[in-house]
Chain A
């Protein structure tokens, strides 16, 4: 055997030895990795189960939200139906009460006339004081009767009733606002579910089939404003009013700017022609 061959063999043996030493050192490390992976498998299984369960529950929650929106819409419609009937009745009663008041005023005038004629019949050569007393007594009697049958109080109460009904109706705006808030939550749940499904795909070799839309509900599939709120309407209106005022003031200032620009243009033209 040549010396060169021997040195090649020795080199190879040294390499093999180094490899064996390296392997010996890495085996515990690899063992740790295998142990870790083994420990992770049940955790990942649990995670997968949890993600699957959540993914199943989200569409159910969406359905519940749809039921809530439906229920509030139905209730609002029922309340509005009743309120509209009340408005009609109240209006009718207000008209009757006002007409009755007008009739009472007309009766007062004729009662005065009757009193004067009665007095003329009863005391033809009338003593002035007696006449005044007689008419005063008749008027007082009629005022008393009129006060009993007067509709003023009734009209005032009907006005209050109408105002209360209007306030109830206005408060029903909560239905529209909460429907928008619920639609926003539904959209958020849909996004979370999409993310979870993407995660599930990593756990499963089976391709998920295209499922029918789980978040499409007529009452939740609306165009919503994410910032819709029932509270704080007054402050938001003040802000809107101040912006409108600023915009209108700014627009009023614009014609003056146009006039200034025109003057500058004319001045420049004058310079060039000169």
Chain B
């Protein structure tokens, strides 16, 4: 099976590198990055991706709006999406579930935690590598 392509979206360069490296240690080498929701939209349309990992608080376009856009676009409506954020309130999680993220992980996360969330999503969502 072709390697899944991950798009990691976060306005923090440090966080993007952490997520990128963690993905590599758990066997996912094919990773592209974006610095905000707008950049992510452009990358999805131009390069495509199989799995979206996004932060919430970002300039230009936040993660929630990015997810809403993706779910409203036929090409990405069923793409697996994992929200990675410092927001840990019940209301925030509910809001994220309303826009249909597949799962939610709170920062700071562990490498094992990230792996488990990704594996949980991949078990429930059929992914066709781009």
* A229 to chain B: closest residue by CB: B86
Give the shortest distance, in Å, between A18 (CB) and chain B (any CB). 69
- The reply on A200 being an interface residue by CB < 8 A is no
Alpha-carbon distance between A146 and B25 when the two chains are bound, in angstroms: 30
Known: A222-B11, A224-B57. A84 touches B21 (CB 8 A): yes
Which one of A106-114, A232-240, A254-262 contacts B? A232-240
Alpha-carbon distance between A237 and B12 when the two chains are bound, in angstroms: 21
Chain B residues with Cβ under 8 A from A223's Cβ? 11, 57-59, 62
- The reply on A73 being an interface residue by CB < 8 A is yes
Chain B residues with Cβ under 8 A from A225's Cβ? 56-57, 85-87
Which of chain A's residues 23-74 have a Cβ closer than 8 Å to chain B?
A: 73
Chain B residues with Cβ under 8 A from A84's Cβ? 17, 21
- The reply on A194 being an interface residue by CB < 8 A is no
* A251 to chain B: closest residue by CB: B97
Give the shortest distance, in Å, between A7 (CB) and chain B (any CB). 82
Which of chain B's residues 89-126 have a Cβ closer than 8 Å to chain A?
A: 89-90, 93-94, 97, 103-111, 113
Give the shortest distance, in Å, between B54 (CB) and chain A (any CB). 13
Cross-chain contact B88 with A76 (CB below 8 angstroms): no
- The reply on A273 being an interface residue by CB < 8 A is no
By DSSP majority rule, is chain B's interface helix, strand, loop, or mixed?
A: mixed
Known: A170-B108, A236-B88. A243 touches B97 (CB 8 A): yes
Cross-chain contact A180 with B94 (CB below 8 angstroms): no
A243-272 vs B, CB cutoff 8 Å, 1 = contact: the mask equals 110010000000000000000000000000
- The reply on A173 being an interface residue by CB < 8 A is yes
Choose among B88, B103, B111 the residue with the greatest number of A CB atoms under 10 Å from its CB.
B88
Chain B residues with Cβ under 8 A from A83's Cβ? 21
Q: What are 16 of the A-B contact pairs (CB < 8 Å)?
A: A76-B14, A80-B18, A166-B22, A175-B12, A179-B12, A223-B57, A225-B85, A227-B87, A229-B86, A233-B88, A233-B109, A239-B88, A243-B90, A244-B97, A247-B93, A247-B97
**Residues on B close to A: CB < 8 A?**
10-15, 17-18, 21-22, 24-25, 56-59, 62, 85-90, 93-94, 97, 103-111, 113
Known: A173-B107, A175-B14. 10 other contacts (CB 8 A): A80-B18, A84-B17, A87-B21, A171-B108, A176-B15, A180-B86, A225-B85, A225-B87, A227-B87, A247-B97
